[in-house]
Amino acid sequence: MAEQELKLHVPKEARAGVEKDLLRGRVTRVHLQAFYFDTPKRDLVRARIALRLRREGEQWVQTLKMPGENSLSRIEINHDRPTPDLDLSVYATEPFAAVLAKHAETLSICYETDVQRIFRQTRTELGVLEIAFDTGLLRAGALELPISEVEFELKRGALAAVFALGKKWQQAHGLILDVRSKSERGDRLASLNAELRTIDEQTAERQEPSRRSAIAQFWGARTAENITLHPKIQAHSALAAVSAECLDQIIRNTAILAEVDTAGIYQASGAEHVHQLRVGIRRLRSAWSFFNGIAALPSEQLRTDIKMHFSKLGGTRDDDVLKETLLPVLSAAGQPPLILDDGLAPPDTENVALSRSFQTWLLDMLAWTVLPAAPLAPPLPNPAPVGVAPAEVEASTEAALAFNTDLKTVAGTHIQAPLALKDALIKKLKKWHRRLLQDGLLFDQLDIEPRHALRKLGKKLRYALQFTESLLPTARLKAYRKQLATVQDILGEMNDLAVARDRFILLRDTQPSAWFACGWITSRLDALTQDACAAFKQLSRTETFWR
């Protein structure tokens, strides 16, 4: 059967409020102890299978899960078991039976969960849902992660019900969107546990740095990933798929910045998470620009609100580049001592990740990517606080009617006449390519603002190529993409230097040594200008993939 649910992390300070609202109806409490199985080489994970045995009160249940049609959906197959032993014969007629049979002899427990669950069903205007609040631990060997999450599972009705109710609870309690399942978190924790056991066999002097590196990598920032579009995919489905990948990058970095797993225990987040969060937002906005006129975009409000959140993420990367990249180069060039502290407060990126408004935007955008009418969907209506609704009717009729009505409206975008998606996308790529070269071949004659706009256009073109790579001839794309990357690297360095020079200019009156930095950067920018001119000329001579 298909399982559709939305999961939100419950911060420690919100747990009492969540439990109080859950107790507005008749609840069931149950102790859940689950054991997840795989091979030492993670063969089931590679086959996208999660297999567990779970004790639900006094009953053992064997469950197999696989991904569904979207990030909220799972294929779930349950079988009651008299004892805590696997019985793979129940899958004999399933398409994945051969995978399980092949690895049956090497399956063992890799990680486990120990959870106290409080749950009840509730009826809304859009459907019937089960609300479950889980608290406990996820354990792999000596390693543990906390579990504190509320799940909204659709039992009957429209998937929009999950978002309408989840959004109310998110706004009321400050909940955090987390797209990782327990099995995903457990698998990664088990891998880390195995890696740390191997490290413990090293010599004493190598153990500590190796452990720090492994743990840091475990909490590493989520970077952009490849997107594969089916050649016959429709435009709105293609945009939804691209948006979903960009949004996943945003959500996962946000969760680490919000300290979903690490609050009060370990400082996992850093400048790279902020940077990758910003990259995810830029990619998403580039996708909207790329598909504009080809597919219906999200509502204007969704596209406008993200600009505000993006601006609040601040210049963390600027400081990182300045301190870790530029200052060592300046020092090697003879830079006199310089104090960088200019009294500017660092951006409060953690508060952005935790803010109700940003988390609401994430939910609205996730809804846009997965709901059946996603290409036409506006943001979900702002619901009343959880406490004002009757115990068994959690979404108001007015909100439900408004949401259903809004689904019929199209965001303010112009849709062109039908055209094969690949042809339409290549047409847009050619247009951006021409615009890039039009100004790029005159780069040394451009002022600061046109150069800045050209850099952003180059970045958009590079992202667009990533989105459409699966539809384009790989061999011919390789040389073009490489030269475009060269252009972008030069423009990116120039932008970093320009930002740093502005910072040093502010220091010149109090620290004369800042004059050296300003002069060095100016000289370097002059050299890069010539490099950029040469790179644009080379790009104009590079064979394009559409010829």
What whole-number distance in Å separates Cα of residue 235 and Cα of residue 420? 9
**Predicted pLDDT at 341:** 67
Decide: helix, strand or coil at residue 148. strand
Alpha helices in 26-141 (DSSP H): 43-46, 97-103
* Residue spans of beta strands (DSSP E) within 416-543: none
- E strand or H helix at 464: helix 448-468
How many Å apart are CA 313 and CA 319, to the nearest integer?
Answer: 13
Q: What CA–CA distance (Å, rounded) separates 96 from 251?
A: 31
> For residue 282, with 0-12 CB atoms within 10 Å meaning exposed, 13-18 middle and 19 or more buried, which class applies?
middle
pLDDT for res 382: 52
β-partners of residue 113 are 34, 138
Q: 55 and 81 in contact (C-beta within 8 Å)?
A: no
367, 160 contact by CB (below 8 A): yes
At 216 the pLDDT is: 93
Q: What is the DSSP string of 198-243?
A: HHTTS-HHHHHHHHHHHHHHHTPPP--------TT--HHHHHHHHH
Compute how many other C-beta atoms are within 10 angstroms of the C-beta atom of residue 180: 17
Q: What is the helix (H) or strand (E) element at residue 38, kind and residue range?
A: strand 28-38
pLDDT at residue 417 in the model: 46
Which neighbouring-strand residues pair with 62?
53, 79
Strand, coil or helix: 346: coil
Evaluate whether 398 touches 382 at the Cβ level (below 8 Å): no
CB-count exposure of residue 27 (10 Å: 0-12, 13-18, 19+): middle
End-to-end CA distance of the chain: 48
Q: Which domains does the chain have, with CATH numbers?
A: 1-159+177-211 (2.40.320), 219-380 (no CATH), 419-541 (no CATH)
CA proximity to 378, closest of 352, 402, 358: 402
In the chain, % of residues over pLDDT 70: 88
Considering the entire predicted model, what is its pTM? Answer: 0.88
Q: What is the pLDDT of residues 326-385, one digit of tens each?
A: 889 999 999 998 887 655 445 555 578 899 999 999 999 999 999 965 433 344 455 544
User: What is the structure's pLDDT at 201?
Assistant: 85
Using a pLDDT cut of 90, give the percent of the chain over it. 76
Measured CA to CA, the distance from residue 318 to residue 275 in angstroms comes to 10
Q: Per-residue pLDDT tens, the chain, 547 aa: give them.
A: 789 999 999 999 999 999 999 999 999 999 999 999 999 999 999 999 999 999 998 999 999 999 998 889 999 999 999 999 999 999 999 999 999 999 999 999 999 999 999 999 999 999 999 999 999 999 999 999 999 999 999 999 999 999 999 999 999 999 999 999 999 999 999 999 999 999 988 777 788 889 999 999 999 999 999 999 998 999 999 999 999 999 999 999 999 999 999 988 888 888 889 999 999 999 999 999 999 999 999 999 999 999 999 988 865 566 777 877 888 999 999 999 888 765 544 555 557 889 999 999 999 999 999 996 543 334 445 554 444 343 444 443 333 333 343 333 344 445 444 568 999 999 999 999 999 999 999 999 999 999 999 999 999 999 999 999 999 888 888 899 999 999 999 999 999 999 999 999 999 999 999 999 999 999 999 999 999 999 999 999 998 877 6
Q: For residue 192, which amino acid is it?
A: L
* Residue showing tokens 């000329």: 537
Handedness of CA 261, 263, 265, 271 (dihedral sign): positive
Query: 418: number of CA atoms within 13 Å, CB side?
Result: 1
Q: What's the confidence (pLDDT) of residue 158?
A: 94
Q: Dihedral sign for Cα 323, 324, 330, 331, please.
A: positive
In SS3 terms, 383-438 reads as CCCHHHCCCCECCCHHHHHHHHHHCCCCCCCCCCCCCCHHHHHHHHHHHHHHHHHH
Q: Which pLDDT does position 475 carry in this prediction?
A: 82
Q: Which amino acid is at 129?
A: L
Residue 357 CB: number of other CB atoms within 10 A? 12
Distances (CA, A) of 474 to 131, 463, 481, 546: 47, 15, 10, 11
Give SS3 for 152: strand
How far is 487 from 473, CA to CA, in rounded Å? 21
